Amino acid sequence: MTQHGTDRIDVFKDFRSQHIPNERDIFVYRPPGYENDPDRRYPLLLMQDGQNIWSTSPNFPTGWRLHQAADTLIASVEIEPLMICGIGFTSARSEEYVSKAVGQPGRTDGAARYGRMVVEEVLPFVADRYRLSGDPANTFIGGSSFGALAVIDLGLTYPDTFGAIVLESIGVQGGLVQAIGRLGGKQPWRVWQEVGTNEWVGNPKSTAEYLRLNRQLRNAFLAQGWTEGPNFHYAEVPGGRHDEPTWASRMPDLLRWLVPASENGAEPQ
């Protein structure tokens, strides 16, 4: 185990799975004060594209700065402390993240195998090493673009595992809207969905299509009984692009929505 930029992000190199052949790094952020309160247990946010959500990514030097947003909001007592796990992507990113049969049981495609890795291996790996709440209501999963497709597939396939799903700039495809319709009015998790009004810079046609499909997905959630507020958040971010700086700018609001500070300092339920 090594550190990544800060001594509170642990890096587990070359994580191996029995379900999928590609090794990847696992990054785990510990909140301020973690070592000083050995009896406290923490919510967990699992993020896809784990190399890119920090501030020193080799792919995107600015990254999402998610740990910096968490540090600031924890210090100002705007959110409850939480753990964040970044699951690294590999050269097979699209194969692992994108399924043409989202949420369908019995699949054996790359996305199904990736889902098994996340739920059966990564989650227990983190839980064995860190003090997590362990309550599905306090276990969240998020991603952007293709990563958001992986997230919603995981939520649909393992509806009792996660309390909230985070969809940034999701590329709506693969029967996704129909899969939400199959929930039959049950809302298994809270939903955060955001899309930019300028996702594809210089390509208004593609941006308009991206917005149209995101609105279609939003409408599918609303038709199944989700309601705006703590249960469901949808926003079209003015000028928002399909890039890390845009997603980084949304992280403080996301964290306030996921783990708002409680009056007595107790863990969110």
Pairing mode, strands 2-4 and 232-237: unpaired
Q: What's the pTM?
A: 0.92
What are the residue ranges in the chain where pLDDT is below 50? 57, 60, 264-269
SS3 253: helix
**Domain boundaries, given as residue ranges, for the chain:** 2-258
Strands, DSSP E only, in 51-111? 83-87
For residue 61, what pLDDT is reported? 58
For the chain, the maximum distance between any two Cα atoms, rounded to a whole number of angstroms, is 53
For residue 58, what pLDDT is reported? 53
For residue 262, what pLDDT is reported? 85
For residue 100, what pLDDT is reported? 79
Pairing mode, strands 83-87 and 24-29: antiparallel
For residue 97, what pLDDT is reported? 94
CATH superfamily of 2-258: Alpha/Beta hydrolase fold, catalytic domain (3.40.50.1820)
Q: Give the position of tokens 């600031």.
A: 72
